[in-house]
Amino acid sequence: MTDPDRRLLERAYEKAAAHERISLDEGVALLERGDTHLLMGLAHKRRMHMHPDNVVTYIVERNINYTNSCVTFCRFCAFYRRPGHSEVYVLTNEQLREKIQETVDAGGIQILLQGGHHPDLQLSFYEEMLQFIKGEFPQINVHGFSAPEIEHIASVEKVSVKEVIERLRAAGLGTLPGAGGEMLVDRVRKIIAPLKTTTDNWIDVHRDAHALGMRSTATMMFGHAETVAERVVHLDEVRKLQDETGGFTAFILWTFQPDNTAMWRYTKLESHAYLRAAAVSRLYLDNVENLQASWVTQGPRVAEISLRGGVNDMGSTMMEENVVSAAGTTFCMNSEQIERSIRLCGFEPQRRNVLYEEVMA
């Protein structure tokens, strides 16, 4: 390491320890050259500064994928089916009712509703689906539709993204997930998902939603075509929009799962790469309150370790997961297991809603 590189890294350590904002160059230095144990220690200190109570939160929800028909053909995805494929489906109202009733019976308060980019479904389909869900289950928050889905619906309907969001919200949409972010670097997006949305468009969808008073999450899928430095560029895009709108409730990162995808030649990242990225995310995203653990890709043991490395939330019970599992990763945790993991790490579990407000079990 050269003297300038060493000075940059030391300055980044000092600023992180003092809870000061670190620059893009300093964030890259931390992720590329920082000591893993030191990064995790600094991230835990920042987490406890932001959340001084001894609580780790989670939500009881279910993932529901309303269709697997998709025309973006993302190279990282093993879930989608091309239109006309024999395995294409669109869930019926009866299937939705059954899945959501199971969620409610398990104490669930939210569904994560997402699907492929179906070429034939009009905006009215999504409005009617939301109206049905809220009519049957008014207490359920619908955390639904990724930014690329919303952009796709707008394209099919030939209306603006803002109008789509407004109409979905009026029909019952509560909040937006951060899915579809993958890597907010267009060089990378052209490799892994050339038919999907651009970085600017993903940002613009969330900006429009925030301007309408809606909240959303931000995500990052890493460990494929990006450089280490580009991971920090992604964090910078999230931080800049959060400075502008304050609309993100949480950040979720996970490692790419290559099995059964067109990118199967990529080597799956080891757990220490996830822990390093989570720690730097906590240090860099000084304006995003919550950082979720990715037990879905990392498993419960690594998720537990991450609770001492900047993470303050264990995500959700999910109950059903079809996208990551299609790529060969099948970790599962119910409420009892999540709470046990939280307690093993010396924290108290606390159920929450999408806005990170406490809810009673």
- The stretch 124-151 carries a mean pLDDT of 98
In this predicted structure, the answer to whether residue 150 has a pLDDT above a threshold of 70 is yes
Quickly state the pLDDT bin for 331 (edges 50, 70, 90). low
Q: With a cut of 70, say whether residue 171 has pLDDT above it.
A: yes
Residues 6+ apart with CB under 8 A from 143: 61, 110, 111, 112, 113, 174, 175, 176, 177, 354
pLDDT-derived band at 320 (thresholds 50, 70, 90) equals: low
The rounded distance, in Å, linking the Cα atoms of 13 and 19 is 10
Q: Residue ranges per domain, the chain?
A: 30-349
Q: Give the pLDDT confidence of 249-273 residue by residue, as tens digits.
A: 999 999 998 877 788 888 888 899 9
List, in order, residues 6 or more apart from 47 with CB less than 8 Å away.
Answer: 282, 291, 310, 311, 312
CB 181 within 8 A of CB 147: yes
Is residue 39 within 8 Å of 283, Cβ to Cβ? yes
| pTM for the whole structure | 0.94
Percent of the chain surpassing pLDDT 90: 83
What phi and psi values does residue 103 have, to the nearest 5 degrees? -65, -50
What is the per-residue pLDDT for 267?
82
Compute the average pLDDT of residues 170-183.
96
Instruction: Specify the pLDDT at position 261.
Output: 78
Average pLDDT over all residues of the chain: 93
pLDDT at 330: 53
Between 328 and 106, residue with greater pLDDT: 106
Give the per-residue pLDDT at 322: 54
- Using one digit for the tens of pLDDT, what is the confidence trace for 2-60? 878 899 999 999 999 999 999 999 999 999 999 999 999 999 999 999 999 999 999 99
Task: Check residue 361 and give its pLDDT.
Answer: 72
Please determine, for residue 323, whether its predicted confidence score (pLDDT) is greater than 80. no
Task: Using a pLDDT cut of 70, give the percent of the chain over it.
Answer: 97
pLDDT score of 187 more than 90 = yes
The CATH superfamily holding the domain 30-349 is Aldolase class I (3.20.20.70)
Sheet harboring 216-222: ordered strands across?
216-222, 248-255, 290-292, 313-316, 55-59, 348-351
Tell me, what's the pLDDT at 318? 75
Cβ contact 299:278 at 8 Å: no
Reply yes or no on whether the pLDDT at 1 is more than 80.
Answer: no
